[in-house]
Structure 1
Amino acid sequence: MTATDGSPAVGPPRGAAAPSTDPDRSPLSGPLPVARRRRVVPARARIMAWMLLLMAVVSLTVTVVTRNLLMQRVDAQVSAALQQEVQELQEVAESGVDRATQQPFRDVYELLYNHLQRQFPDDDEVLVGWIGPVETGEALRQNRAEPFPLADRPDVLMPILGSADTSGSAPTDAGEMRWVKAPVVHSANPGDSGAFVVGYLVDRDRAEVSETIQTLVLVSVLGLLFAGVAAWVVAGQILAPVRLVRQAAAEIGEHDLTQRIPVNGNDDIAALAEQFNAMLDRLEQAFAAQRQFVDDASHELRTPITIVRGHLELMGDDPADRAAVVRLCTDELDRMNRIVADLLVLAKAERPDFVRVEPVEVAELTSDIYAKVRAIADRRWLVEAIGEGVAHVDPQRVTQAMVQLAQNAVQHTGDGDDVLIGSSMLDGRVAFWVTDRGPGVPPGDQSKIFDRFSRGATGGASAHRSGAGLGLAIVRAIAEAHGGGVRLVSVPGQGASFGIDLPADRGGNR
């Protein structure tokens, strides 16, 4: 195919799909991968599975070790029984005397025959005597019911007699037979010889061991089943508070922080529930404080914005009117700037580096504070007391708090009124305070005057009406960041004393 301009047309290869013309589909786009939900294995099932696995491993180990020990005991008992029979024959042969007649044995036949008839072997033992050469001799047997007729089974007996070994194992119709062989020679006639063969059928003893192991396996399986049920029940009881924690966490939202977990017992799970409830208490308080803070802050910032907008909308062409509006707007913008600055300080108070403690001479810090507050307003500034010693505090934050307290005192006093500042060191704590002779704080306001946006009663102080109610909140934040607190002593009509009380020998609690 050729394009209209004579150039070869470029297109997809024959048989290939044409590119998509959908404007909403990228050439590189494809089917979105489906997120696979992660399978969650309940902790209860995992505890039960691990417990059963552990018990199964222990049971298997015990079973295998027990079986090996029992089999070793069977082999040891068989070997001991065989060696005992051979040893008894050897003792009789060495003595060479018939115990019944006290006469010497005349030949090997008499020795083996008398010995065989006087022996009382185990139920699984077989005793056989052999007289003469292996090829042409004859067998002697006991007069009893034998577990295996070894003397009548040359296919089993002859390989034993012809073997160069003195012990071994041979398969029989009655199972495996362990055997030992001892040559017998007459002391007076070395040419008169024979052999003594002792066989032991070990399968019955091994079968008893197998039955014991089967019983042990059955008991272990039943134990595993019982342990599985017990583990399921116990794990459910132990993890019940954890499930409550998960359910409570799933139901918790910003608008519902009232869920609590019942605490039962005094174990780790109960401690977890207590800590979770304490966390919920802190979250509920934090969310409540946040909502109140946002509401108050929005109100405080909305007011100057409304004032500025209203005056700008009503501003006329008169230069004097314009100047008044500009001055008013500037004042409101300055107030907004102060509110924002105070909010930033309070926000920084939540950070761990809000205070940076260092060793400071209390007397020197008090003198510096006095020098700075004197420039705030025309008051009769006095030093009431000066503490002596070294305190570990943040001098800049302490100065900021004291300046704020001094500004608060200025707002409630008039020109020339007394304002006292002081400090003290006592029992490992350092205190700074500002005292004024103003109208004081009513008892109903004293408990909340350090809260954010709380102004309390102004007492006629016109300067106080322009504040946002954040100054004393900043003072409390600085004190609490040091690990201390604020204090207020006031009698209505007789002034007020605001102060901070801080630990002197350590840093803040953050």
Structure 2
Amino acid sequence: MRARESRREATRRAGRSWTVRTRVLTTMLAFMVVGLAVTGVLTYAVQFRALEDRVHGELLQEYQELKLIAESTEDDGSFTHTTVDAVLKAATESAAPSDNESVIALIDGRPAHKPRSQDFELVPDDSARSQEVLEQIMAVHEPGRTVTTTMTLGDRELRVLVASVQVAGDDAEGVFVIGNDIGVEKQELWQSVATFAGLSVVTLLIAGWVGYVVTGRLLKPLGALRSATEQVTVDDLAHRIPVPAANDDISALATNFNRMLERIQIGFAEQRRFMSDVGHELRTPLTIVRGTLEMTDLEDPDDVREAHEIATDELDRMGRVVGDLSELAASARPDYVRPAPLDMQEFARSAFARIERIAEREWALVRAADVVADADEQRLTQAVVQLAANAVRYSDEGSRILFSVDQVLGPVGPEIHVGMRDEGVGIAEDDQRRIFERFTRVDGARGSGSGLGLPIVRAIAEGHGGQVRLLSAPGRGSTFTLVFPQFTQRTGVEGDAEDGPGARDAAGPRGDRTDDRRGPAGSPHTTTRSS
């Protein structure tokens, strides 16, 4: 047992290491890291590409200026510069190297001309270095062509354009060289990359801290929910978690969790009540059956027959009690009542055909409203039969029992009133307050009942969104009226009352009784039967 509890505790601790807060924050930061990385890579890839294109364009611009000088002519059509030296001298004198740019002109492999000022020298004054640079340039040079390449001269990364210069009538071989220190500009970009990376790290840290605080506040109800799930047990279902004021998914989750606990609590209460009721009601008949069997003289056929009859009656009573309790337990389910459009006139006739056979009474169907309502025909019939059986139990043979189905305009819409009126002993006012409680029986009943009929009727009424009303007085009979909203528009004949949807709360608090309603009235169709 301890080992199992230890494993559960270890599992719980391991689960807490990756809470919802941690997962949300990790996911958010992971997306931010990927987003910043992709943005940075694409942005600086574009910038490096733009740098390459710009440097290449500047080199070509210098080359175009050289070409214009070499092709310039006088008014008579002759070339202005007739020698390689003249062309290169004019080109270097007119050249204006930009930042990080250097120009030099070579004749027959030797330095000949260069601009007066520039950022750096392509060919240093140092003889050893100069010879090395000249060899690299001449290795790239191709007579009659222009070549662009990348060179490393010392600690410089250069983008170099090497142009061959030739003039007709001059055997000298000229080379015009333009070099751009692209490495310096790349270094500036890389510094920008480092700055972006540093700012991104700071942004992630700030976002992580803000996200940690915000998610902690947003997910605080989840911690309360987890704590509540650990505290809720079968013996303690009353615990509830606080619902945040914000109208969001977390508050909805907390609300639904509390509602779930409430439903579970009600279900357990109904289960306990069912078991308590079963134990309470079955104890007496079981005692009677056991006592009867123990005292039966097996040698006496009459005594055995009497014991058999008593045991059978008690077992039948137990069966009825269990059936009624099961019915009440089922009434707590949301699908206990399944409303559907129901023709109330046809229902009244069908229900009356059933109840007039229960016992010898003067049965009368005094009104059957020609309307359609949303109702469960099976449950309504069950309620009517229960009310009829109750009326028979508290009335004399040959007395009148009036049944009616009517439509009445309620406070917020039309209502259906299903009434059962008897001329029996009536119910005292004190008893009226408790008659709808389970196993409640009042004096004056003919025969025995389980005391569950009226609670079942009330459950059916509440399932239809209505209630049961009672008007009674000792010696003056009783009128039970099952009231519920009509919901659907009625269809029928002339004289119909105003149509319109009802409301579930139109009938007032469920199960309340009232004494300001009249019983069924009208011109009854009367029938008397013997049973």
TM-score by length of 2: 0.77
1:273 and 2:246 matched:
no
Equivalent pair of 1:485/1:500 in contact (CA under 8 Å): yes
Deviates more, 1:349-358 or 1:118-127: 349-358
Structure 1 unmatched ranges of 5 or more: 1-33, 98-102
In structure 2, what is the equivalent of residue 181 of structure 1? 162
Q: Deviations over 1:365-420 (max 9, x none)?
A: 21222222122222221222111134454433322221111011112222232211
Question: Given the alignment, which residue of 232, 237, 242 partners 2:222?
Answer: 242
1:432 and 2:418 matched:
yes
Structure 1 residues 253 and 301: alpha-carbon distance in aligned structure 2, compared to 1, 3 A threshold? same
In structure 1, what is the equivalent of residue 96 of structure 2? 120
In structure 1, what is the equivalent of residue 238 of structure 2? 258
Deviates more, 1:493-502 or 1:215-224: 493-502
Cα distance in structure 2, aligned partners of 1:226 and 1:64: 22
Aligned residue identity for 2:459: A
Structure 1 residues 178 and 376: alpha-carbon distance in aligned structure 2, compared to 1, 3 A threshold? same
After TM superposition, the structure 1 = structure 2 runs for residues 360-509 of structure 1, keeping only pairs within 5 Å, are 360-391=342-373, 393-425=375-407, 430-443=416-429, 446=432, 449-451=435-437, 453-455=438-440, 458=442, 460-463=443-446, 466-481=448-463, 483-493=464-474, 494-502=476-484
Cα distance in structure 2, aligned partners of 1:327 and 1:184: 135
Cα distance in structure 1, aligned partners of 2:227 and 2:428: 46
Aligned residue identity for 1:141: K
In structure 2, what is the equivalent of residue 150 of structure 1? 123
Cα distance in structure 2, aligned partners of 1:57 and 1:383: 79
Equivalent pair of 1:123/1:147 in contact (CA under 8 Å): no
Aligned residue identity for 1:147: F
In structure 2, what is the equivalent of residue 57 of structure 1? 34
Aligned residue identity for 2:269: A
- Note the C-alpha offset of 1:146: 4.5
- Note the C-alpha offset of 1:162: 3.5
Aligned residue identity for 2:345: A
Cα distance in structure 1, aligned partners of 2:170 and 2:427: 132
Q: Deviations over 1:200-258 (max 9, x none)?
A: 11111111111111111111122222222222222221111011112111211122122
In structure 2, what is the equivalent of residue 289 of structure 1? 270
Aligned residue identity for 1:284: Q
- Note the C-alpha offset of 1:44: 1.2
After TM superposition, the structure 1 = structure 2 runs for residues 210-249 of structure 1, keeping only pairs within 5 Å, are 210-249=190-229
Aligned residue identity for 2:379: R
Deviates more, 1:115-124 or 1:426-435: 426-435
Cα distance in structure 1, aligned partners of 2:182 and 2:397: 118
Aligned residue identity for 1:495: G
Aligned residue identity for 1:119: A
1:172 and 2:157 matched:
no
SS at match of 2:451: coil
Cα distance in structure 2, aligned partners of 1:444 and 1:242: 49
Equivalent pair of 1:409/1:436 in contact (CA under 8 Å): yes
Cα distance in structure 1, aligned partners of 2:483 and 2:291: 45
Structure 2 unmatched ranges of 5 or more: 1-6, 125-129, 489-503, 505-531
Structure 1 residues 384 and 496: alpha-carbon distance in aligned structure 2, compared to 1, 3 A threshold? same
Structure 1 residues 123 and 478: alpha-carbon distance in aligned structure 2, compared to 1, 3 A threshold? same
After TM superposition, the structure 1 = structure 2 runs for residues 329-340 of structure 1, keeping only pairs within 5 Å, are 329-340=311-322
In structure 1, what is the equivalent of residue 43 of structure 2? 66
Cα distance in structure 1, aligned partners of 2:394 and 2:261: 40
Identity score, percent: 34
Aligned residue identity for 2:98: D
Cα RMSD of the aligned pairs, angstroms, is 3.1
Q: Deviations over 1:78-135 (max 9, x none)?
A: 11211221222233333357xxxxx95464323422432343312311101123x45x
Structure 1 residues 416 and 122: alpha-carbon distance in aligned structure 2, compared to 1, 3 A threshold? same
SS at match of 2:467: strand
Question: Given the alignment, which residue of 78, 89, 99 partners 2:66?
Answer: 89
